[in-house]
Every structure is written in structure tokens, then in C-alpha cells.
């Protein structure tokens, strides 16, 4: 620990101040900051930073005394131009008090780059506010939290009676525990807020209130999660007709961005003029999870003294991704109609209420509570959930004109309570949609797989249909898995909503397929792949030892007693296949990377030879399911004990194997109209194996023939686990056991060719295997949401498989040997390839 004035020397000619590695603390609780940007200092111990230059922080600035002590304080009237560069080793920690990590008490030009760690327990990390009421504070620059940067505090940035001109960009990690992330109060912000990393706020991510102005875009490319809400803008009423709060820009959620409000409204506006738009791009997600809350809420003015543009989102709201909330939009402002557009790729799920003109070209899923004071132009898909009250009152109400375009669709799905009431949906009429004026230009009205629907009336102002129910047996005859899902749906509202939203049996089967947590059988296959590759390495070594001279590989000692290492790299591919009921089991492509490290010893007993050893294998496996964004990863550790017994021309090779894998899986329900939120799980599995090969060698001149018999046993046991997701398809999965018992037979052949400077020795082994066990992959699970048990059985196993090994050895007369190897394992619909290269030097 050092006092900063001692630890830092004078500024160099480039006016760069560097804080070396180490810890630096305030010497007095009355000090205002560890680093002060100021022309003159009344206190001699403070280090003077020139008003033009750069501060580079490598060490740790720690404030653990002083109520208002800051890390870096800008406090000069000459508009200093000082950049701050916090390196990965750098830290600014405010462990108590109301000070900021970086405080602008007066105007300045400053760029901030953070690759380190900024922490503030009780206050904001960046503060822009005047030290005295008579002194205006304006800061110009760019603030970047780099990809390695971490900012954790009660708040991220607070502007109080201050002004910022520039962009704030997050590419790293932000966590705030107070009521806001970025706050503007009686302040102005001219620039953009851009998130490309991860941003988590306990309160609001962005809070603008009082007479404040934000002129720029709030743009998200990454993930923003806020407990109270994403953006809240509320202005106090002035004496004039202008709204106090002004938002002169747009809110944009870029493709694959995720913005989530856990409890409150997602975007809340009151007493604000909003001159831009709200845009949710393709594959982006905006979600408000709170019951009764709105993703976008526009409040009524506080009093009658309302400006002409107050409460108006001038550019409207457009969605080409996923928007969800109890209300997608709720507009309580009586003076402005919001223009809402759901594009052809857009999915909106929730209610709409208030003054809204809706244009729908995508999929809009809604239920009772959607009441539009405006017009509805429909050219996409409208999915209406029908309840018992629809017998007398329409599900959706539009005060103005509703136009159903030719080729558009209206899907009718029964509500959970409605379907479970056997006395209803037996051919009676239900009202779907009412409008001031209803114009149907040829929309198709369809029921789900659970119902039969017929249009009674689409003239006048109300669209009316009759509905008949279907039993689980009628929904999908012949498929046990599908019936199990339908029956489970009658006990789980969340699952029922998904099942009821499917229109055809094919769609339902796809849902069932997506509902199988181990759909591609990847849990077992990934273990088998990595076990197969790990076992093949010592078997290959023992086979090579019988043919080649003892020598050294990379890291080897003499082969009779030494340590060896070999890189493991393989690729496997499994085609899609079907179960006995015709349900699809997805294929996948897998890549294996790792290494094996072993220790072995050989004994020559004269009449026979013995080789024995042990190897540790560490491998990573990544499996990509066909036509899916699911992510399956496995980290595997194995211990193999192996040995070989050779007597005359006879030999037996064996490997006993034990392994443990950690699975990290993210799956998605990739169907239209279903929440694309990830369903995550992590669990462990163990695998055990024994492989034996026995053969006899028949040498003939320069050719060697070896008939081979084999036995292979594998046992995979995966732990039980619970998936983590808000999705209705999240499940608790029981422990699973899978076994394979194989018998094999084959032939190995090698030949020696004499060359000018050495010998060339190609060899090939072909074997056929038959699985006498014939286990099917089975998965037993329970829907966490209460839907009951689900039992899925995989495809019929392919029992016949084949393996081929090829090696080409070039042994020079100077004792150098080069070995090129290739292994292929194949059965119907499955293949794996492994390539290896080895260099040896014989002593």
C-alpha cells in the first residue's frame, strides 16, 4: 500500500500519468479524491494531474474512508482535457460513502476506457453534477466499458443538473443494485447509449425524470435485464405547455438482442414527448414478465396542462422479433393514438389496450383483455384464445375498422379451463372479434389440433364460430409420445397453451419432438464417441508395438518404460431417424478435441511379452443438432487401464475404462408462436467400458495377416437434473442408464515395402460388430410446471456396425519413423472419423 503522491512520479512530456500496480488509499477521510484534476492544490499530498493528458490506471484505487470521497475528481474551471484508461489490472473501489469512482464536478473533455474493475457500494460509478449551484457542468467525450471491463455499483451513471455530450458503450459486464442504472434528473444527454454486453439492473436500466432531455438512441445488441423496468421516463409539469421530459431519439433492440423486465413495465412513459420510435428487429426479444404489467406503457398526463406532443411516440412501435407481456402495449393517454406494426417475421404475445392502431403482418397471440380504441389491419396470423365468456362477449374488441385481408388467418385455440370443462365446446357458438366495422376479404378461420371450428357469421360487426373438441386419441392416433404430451397438457396450463396453439398433427409432432429433452440422444452418443476415441489410442499403441521397433514418440522415454501423450481429434455425424411411432429423432454433428497422457511398461519374459499401462484422457465435445440452434457441450475426464499379452503368434489386448462427463446444454423450442427463451441444464454422467481384442499373427514373406475377435461393453449412467427456464417445457429429468454389449470379428493385414532409404509399411484392420444388447435410449421426465410424467423412447438401435483402421508407416534407416493413421467407425446413419500423426525415433 502506498500514498498516491509517493507512488506516482511527475508527469512526463506526453502528460501521461500512470498509476502502477499496487493498492492506494486515502490518507485522510476529509480528502475529496485520490486523483484530482485541478490546476492548483491547497493540500500538498494530493498528486497534481495536468489538465491536458491521460491517466492510466494499472493499480487499485481504494476508498474505504470519507463519506464523499471519489476515485478520480475533475475539479478545474479551465475545462481540462484528460482521458482515463483503466487497464485489466486496474481497479477503482468505493467501499463506502456517497462518492463516485469518476466524478465530474466541473466541465471537462474526457474519454473513458475501462478494461478493469469499477465498484461502488452505495452510489454511482460515474457522476456528472456541479460542485456548486452557480457552476454549470458539461462533459464531452466517449465512455466505453470494454469487453473485459466490469462495472458494479448502486448506480452506473448519474447526471444531476449536468450535461453529457457523447456515447456510453458497454461491451463488458454491468451490474447495478440501486434504483437505476443510468439516471437523468434536471439534466441533458446528447449522444447514444449502446449495450453490446451484459447489463443487469435491480431497478431501472435507464431512468429519466424532471426537466431532462435525452437526445440520441438507446440501443441494445446484447442482454439487458432489469427488475423494475428497462426504461422509465417521467417528467414533472412546468408552467408552460411543454412537457418536462423529452426523448429525442429511438429505442432499438437489434437482432438477437434480449431486453427483459422482470417485475415492472418494460418501457414506461408519462409526461414525456417522444420524437422517435421503438424498434424490435428480427430475432430480437423484448419481454415484460410481471403479471398485469405492460411491455410498453404510456400513461395519462398528470394534469390538463398537456403539450400537443406529450404522450406521443411519434415514430410508433415496430416489431420484427419477439415481444411479450401481460400487455404488449397499454396506452392510457387519451390524446394520442399509437401506431403499432407487427412485421411478417414478428411474434407478439399478450394483450393490447388503449388508443392503438394495429397493423399485423406476423403472428399476434392474444386473449380476453385486448380492447383497441383504433383500427386493426390484419394480413398475418391472429391467434385468439377462447374462454367460456366468449359465448356472449367477444374475445377481442376494436372500436374502429377491422380489415381481414385475403390470405390472412385467424387461429382459434381453446383456453385451459374451457378445454377441461367437458360440458363445453360441443358445437356451441363463440364470439371471437367485434369491431365498429368488420370487413372480411377472405381470411381463413382454423381450429387447433384440439378442436374443429366452423364459421357461423363473419358479416356485420362480430366474427362468430362453433367449436367441437377432440380427445387425445383423436388428436394423434398411433403415437404414444404425442398422446402423452396432450394428456400432460390437460394438467399444465403453460404446456396446454403450446399444444392448443398447434394447427396440424405435423405441428404437434414437431412440438413433441422439441419437447424431448434428449431429442438427438446426444447424452449417450457424446459419451460413447469420446469413450471410443480414448480407448482406441492405447489399442493402437499396443498394435503398433507388435509391428514396429521400440522407440520414442514426442515425450516418450524408451517404450519399455515411459510416458506418452497423444492429441485426440475426431468428428462424428448422426443422421436423423424415427421411432417406432414415426416420431423424429434429430441427427447431429459432433467434434471432439483433447489429449491422452499415459504411462506404460513392457516386460519380456522370453516365452511371452506383457505390456501394461494407464492413461488419462481430457476431452471437449460439442454437438450441433441438425437444423437447430441447440447447444450441447461436454467436458470429459477418463481413466483407462490397459494391457497386452503376447505369446508366440497369439495376443490379447484389453482396455478397462472409466469416465465422468459434465454436460452443459441449451435447447430451444424452435416453433412459430412459441417463446424462444433458452431452456438450460447442466448435469453429470458416468461411463464405464471394457474392450478386448484377441488375434493370431500369420507372417508370410513381407505380408502379415491377423484374424481378430473382439468384445466391447459400454455402460452410460446420467444423473437426474432439472432444467432452468421460464418456458412451459422445462422438465425434471430422471437418471438414465444405457448399455451396449458388442461382439466383433475382423482381419488385419500389413505389408513391408523396401525403399532406397527405408521401408514403407501400410496396414489396415477391418472389423464388424454386433450389439447383442440392443438398448433403446429412454427418457423419463416430469414437467416442472405440473404437467405430469412424460416418457420418451428413442429410435430402434442399429446393431450392426463396422470399423476400419488404416496406418502408413515410413521407417528410415536412420531410425526415424513417421506414422500416419486414420480410423473410421460406421453404422447405418452414423459415422465418425479420426486422424492421427506420430513421429518416432528408435534408439
Q: What is the mean pLDDT of residues 422-447?
A: 92
For cell 505369446, name the residue.
647
Q: At 764, which CATH number?
A: 2.40.128.130
d(CA 534, CA 687): 12
pLDDT for residue 236 = 62
Q: Are residues 500 and 604 in the same domain?
A: no
648 assigned to some structural domain: yes
pLDDT band at 145 (very low <50, low <70, confident <90, very high): very high
Strand partners, 625: 588
pLDDT for residue 8 = 35
* Strand locations in 458-560 (E): 462-469
Choose among 462, 418, 467: nearest CA to 440.
462
Tally of structural domains, the chain: 3
Strand partners, 127: 103, 158
609 assigned to some structural domain: yes
Report CA-CA distances (Å) from 587 to 518, 569, 575, 592, 762: 11, 20, 4, 17, 34
Query: What pTM does this model have?
Result: 0.74
- Higher-confidence residue: 255 or 514? 255
Instruction: Give the three-state DSSP class for 530.
Output: helix
Q: What is the mean pLDDT of residues 552-571?
A: 63
What is the CB neighbour count within 10 angstroms for residue 554? 12
d(CA 524, CA 716): 7
* pLDDT, tens digit (0-9, with 9 covering 90-100), for 448-493: 888 888 988 776 799 999 999 887 777 766 666 777 778 777 777 7
11 assigned to some structural domain: yes
Q: Are residues 520 and 505 in the same domain?
A: no
Instruction: Give the three-state DSSP class for 515.
Output: helix
Contact predicate 193/206, CB 8 Å: yes
Q: What is the mean pLDDT of residues 758-774?
A: 92
Q: What is the mean pLDDT of residues 401-421?
A: 92
* pLDDT, tens digit (0-9, with 9 covering 90-100), for 41-54: 544 334 556 668 89
Grid coordinates representing 270?
Answer: 408519462
Q: Are residues 483 and 623 in the same domain?
A: no
Q: What is the mean pLDDT of residues 120-149?
A: 91
Q: Are residues 572 and 501 in the same domain?
A: no
Contact predicate 415/432, CB 8 Å: no
Phi/psi of residue 332, nearest 5 degrees: -95, 0
d(CA 329, CA 262): 16
562 assigned to some structural domain: no
d(CA 183, CA 159): 6
**CA-based end-to-end distance of the chain:** 58
Q: Are residues 808 and 691 in the same domain?
A: yes
167 assigned to some structural domain: no
Q: Which helix (H) or strand (E) holds 510?
A: helix 505-515
pLDDT band at 9 (very low <50, low <70, confident <90, very high): very low
Choose among 745, 759, 746: nearest CA to 808.
759
Q: What is the mean pLDDT of residues 402-413?
A: 94
Q: Which helix (H) or strand (E) holds 287?
A: strand 285-288
DSSP letter (8 states) at residue 534: H
Q: Of 84, 110, 130, which residue sits at a domain end?
A: 130
Contact predicate 642/653, CB 8 Å: yes
Share of the chain above pLDDT 90, in %: 50
pLDDT band at 550 (very low <50, low <70, confident <90, very high): very low
d(CA 99, CA 95): 10
What is the CB neighbour count within 10 angstroms for residue 227? 18
Q: Are residues 664 and 579 in the same domain?
A: yes
What domain range includes position 481? 474-510
Report CA-CA distances (Å) from 793 to 25, 84, 799: 64, 60, 17
Q: Are residues 490 and 525 in the same domain?
A: no
Contact predicate 366/340, CB 8 Å: no
Q: What is the dihedral of CA 175, 176, 180, 181, to 10 degrees?
A: -40
d(CA 409, CA 367): 16
pLDDT at 375 over 50: yes
Q: Are residues 534 and 485 in the same domain?
A: no
Q: Are residues 117 and 82 in the same domain?
A: yes
Grid coordinates representing 276?
Answer: 422517435
Beta strands at 278-280 and 317-319: parallel, antiparallel or unpaired: parallel
Contact predicate 465/432, CB 8 Å: yes
* pLDDT, tens digit (0-9, with 9 covering 90-100), for 48-78: 566 688 999 999 999 887 677 889 988 888 8
* pLDDT, tens digit (0-9, with 9 covering 90-100), for 176-190: 999 999 999 999 999
What is the CB neighbour count within 10 angstroms for residue 299? 17
Grid coordinates representing 338?
Answer: 399509437
d(CA 253, CA 236): 28
pLDDT band at 112 (very low <50, low <70, confident <90, very high): very high
Choose among 110, 89, 104, 171: nearest CA to 137.
104
pLDDT at 242 over 80: no
pLDDT for residue 520 = 62
Q: Are residues 493 and 599 in the same domain?
A: no
Report CA-CA distances (Å) from 138 to 49, 164, 210, 214, 402: 20, 6, 18, 14, 51
DSSP letter (8 states) at residue 3: -
Q: Which of 9-13, 161-165, 440-444, 521-525 has the lowest mean pLDDT?
A: 9-13
**CA–CA–CA angle 235, 238, 242 (5° rounding):** 80
Phi/psi of residue 144, nearest 5 degrees: -130, 125
640 assigned to some structural domain: yes
Q: Are residues 484 and 595 in the same domain?
A: no
Phi/psi of residue 495, nearest 5 degrees: -70, -40
* pLDDT, tens digit (0-9, with 9 covering 90-100), for 292-348: 999 999 988 766 556 666 778 999 999 999 999 999 999 998 888 999 999 999 999
Q: Of 103, 130, 157, which residue sits at a domain end?
A: 130
245 assigned to some structural domain: no
Q: Are residues 478 and 520 in the same domain?
A: no
d(CA 235, CA 244): 5
Q: Of 101, 130, 159, which residue sits at a domain end?
A: 130
673 assigned to some structural domain: no
- Report the mean per-residue pLDDT for the chain: 86
pLDDT for residue 140 = 95
Amino acid at each position: 500500500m502506498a500514498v498516491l503522491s509517493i507512488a506516482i512520479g511527475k508527469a512526463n512530456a506526453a502528460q501521461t500519468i500512470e498509476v502502477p500496480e499496487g493498492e492506494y488509499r486515502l490518507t485522510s477521510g476529509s480528502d475529496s479524491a485520490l486523483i484530482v484534476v485541478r490546476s492548483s492544490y491547497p493540500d500538498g499530498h494530493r498528486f497534481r494531474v495536468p489538465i491536458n493528458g491521460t491517466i492510466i490506471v494499472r493499480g487499485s484505487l481504494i476508498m474505504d474512508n470519507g463519506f464523499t470521497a471519489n476515485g478520480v475528481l475533475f475539479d478545474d474551471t479551465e475545462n481540462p482535457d484528460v482521458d482515463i484508461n483503466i487497464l485489466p489490472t486496474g481497479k477503482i473501489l468505493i467501499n463506502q460513502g456517497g462518492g463516485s469512482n469518476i466524478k465530474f464536478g466541473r466541465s471537462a473533455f474526457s474519454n473513458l476506457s475501462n478494461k478493469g474493475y469499477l465498484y461502488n457500494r452505495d452510489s454511482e460509478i460515474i457522476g456528472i453534477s456541479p460542485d456548486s449551484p452557480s457552476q454549470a457542468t458539461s462533459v464531452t467525450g466517449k465512455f466505453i466499458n470494454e469487453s473485459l471491463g466490469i462495472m458494479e455499483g448502486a448506480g452506473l451513471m448519474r447526471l444531476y443538473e449536468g450535461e453529457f455530450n457523447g456515447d456510453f458503450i458497454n461491451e463488458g459486464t454491468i451490474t447495478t443494485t440501486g434504483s437505476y442504472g443510468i439516471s437523468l434528473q434536471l439534466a441533458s444527454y446528447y449522444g447514444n447509449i449502446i449495450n453490446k454486453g451484459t447489463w443487469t439492473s435491480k431497478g431501472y436500466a435507464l431512468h429519466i425524470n424532471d426537466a431532462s432531455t435525452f437526445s440520441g438512441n438507446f440501443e441494445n445488441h446484447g442482454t439487458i435485464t432489469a427488475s423494475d423496468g428497462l426504461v422509465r421516463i417521467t417528467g414533472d409539469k412546468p408552467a408552460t405547455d411543454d412537457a418536462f421530459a423529452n426523448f429525442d431519439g429511438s429505442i432499438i433492440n437489434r437482432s438477437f438482442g434480449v431486453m427483459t423486465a422482470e417485475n415492472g413495465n418494460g418501457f414506461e412513459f408519462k409526461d414525456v414527448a417522444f420524437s422517435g420510435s421503438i424498434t424490435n428487429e428480427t430475432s430480437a426479444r423484448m419481454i415484460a414478465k410481471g403479471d398485469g404489467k405492460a411491455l410498453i406503457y404510456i400513461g395519462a398526463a398528470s394534469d390538463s396542462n398537456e403539450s400537443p406532443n406529450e404522450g406521443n411516440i411519434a415514430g410508433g412501435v415496430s416489431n420484427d422479433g419477439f415481444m411479450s407481456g401481460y400487455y404488449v402495449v397499454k396506452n392510457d393517454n387519451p390524446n394520442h393514438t399509437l401506431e403499432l406494426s407487427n412485421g411478417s417475421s414478428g411474434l407478439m404475445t399478450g394483450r393490447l389496450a388503449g388508443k392503438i392502431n394495429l397493423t399485423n403482418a406476423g403472428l399476434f397471440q392474444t386473449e380476453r383483455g385486448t380492447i383497441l380504441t383504433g383500427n386493426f389491419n390484419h394480413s398475418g396470423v391472429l391467434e385468439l384464445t377462447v374462454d367460456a365468456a366468449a359465448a356472449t362477449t367477444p374475445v377481442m374488441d376494436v372500436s374502429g375498422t377491422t380489415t381481414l385481408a385475403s390470405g390472412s388467418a385467424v387461429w382459434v385455440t381453446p383456453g385451459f379451463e374451457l378445454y377441461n370443462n367437458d360440458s363445453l365446446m360441443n358445437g356451441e357458438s363463440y364470439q371471437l372479434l367485434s369491431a365498429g366495422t368488420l370487413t372480411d376479404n377472405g381470411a381463413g378461420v382454423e381450429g387447433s389440433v384440439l378442436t374443429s371450428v366452423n364459421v357461423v357469421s363473419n358479416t356485420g360487426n362480430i366474427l362468430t364460430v362453433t367449436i367441437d373438441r377432440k380427445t387425445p386419441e383423436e388428436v394423434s392416433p398411433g403415437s404414444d409420445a404425442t398422446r402423452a404430451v396432450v394428456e400432460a397438457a390437460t394438467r399444465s396450463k403453460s404446456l396446454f397453451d403450446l399444444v392448443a396453439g398447434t394447427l396440424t398433427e405435423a405441428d404437434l409432432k414437431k412440438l413433441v419432438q422439441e419437447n424431448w429433452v434428449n431429442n438427438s440422444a446426444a447424452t449417450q452418443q457424446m459419451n460413447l464417441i469420446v469413450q471410443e476415441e480414448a480407448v482406441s489410442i492405447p489399442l493402437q499403441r499396443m498394435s503398433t508395438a507388435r509391428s514396429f521397433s521400440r522407440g520414442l514418440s514426442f515425450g516418450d522415454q524408451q517404450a519399455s518404460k515411459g510416458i506418452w501423450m497423444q492429441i485426440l481429434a475426431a468428428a462424428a455425424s448422426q443422421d436423423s431417424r424415427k421411432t417406432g411411432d414415426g416420431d423424429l429423432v434429430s441427427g447431429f454433428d459432433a467434434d471432439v478435441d483433447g489429449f491422452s497422457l499415459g504411462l506404460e511398461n513392457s516386460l519380456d519374459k522370453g516365452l511371452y511379452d506383457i505390456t501394461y499401462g494407464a492413461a488419462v484422457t481430457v476431452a471437449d465435445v460439442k454437438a450441433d443438432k441438425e437444423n437447430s440452434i441447440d447447444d450441447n457441450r461436454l467436458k470429459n475426464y477418463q481413466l483407462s487401464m490397459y494391457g497386452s499379452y503376447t505369446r508366440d503368434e497369439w495376443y490379447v489386448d484389453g482396455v478397462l475404462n472409466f469416465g465422468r462427463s459434465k454436460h452443459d446444454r441449451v435447447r430451444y423450442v424452435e416453433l412459430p408462436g412459441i417463446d424462444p427463451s433458452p431452456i438450460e441444464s447442466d448435469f453429470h454422467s458416468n461411463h464405464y467400458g471394457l474392450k478386448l481384442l484377441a488375434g493370431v499373427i500369420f507372417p508370410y514373406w513381407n505380408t502379415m495377416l491377423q484374424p481378430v475377435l473382439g468384445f466391447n461393453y459400454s455402460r452410460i449412467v446420467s444423473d437426474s437434473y432439472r432444467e432452468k427456464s421460464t418456458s412451459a417445457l422445462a422438465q425434471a429429468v430422471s437418471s438414465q442408464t444405457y448399455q451396449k454389449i458388442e461382439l466383433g470379428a475382423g482381419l488385419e493385414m500389413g505389408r513391408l515395402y523396401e525403399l532406397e532409404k527405408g521401408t514403407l509399411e501400410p496396414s489396415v484392420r477391418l472389423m464388424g460388430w454386433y450389439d447383442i444388447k440392443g438398448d433403446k435410449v429412454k427418457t423419463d421426465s416430469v414437467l416442472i410446471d405440473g404437467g405430469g410424467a412424460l416418457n420418451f423412447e428413442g429410435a430402434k438401435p442399429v446393431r450392426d456396425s463396422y470399423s476400419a483402421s488404416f496406418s502408413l508407416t515410413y521407417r528410415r534407416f536412420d531410425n526415424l519413423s513417421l506414422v500416419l493413421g486414420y480410423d473410421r467407425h460406421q453404422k447405418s446413419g452414423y459415422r465418425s472419423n479420426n486422424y492421427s500423426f506420430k513421429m518416432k525415433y528408435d534408439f
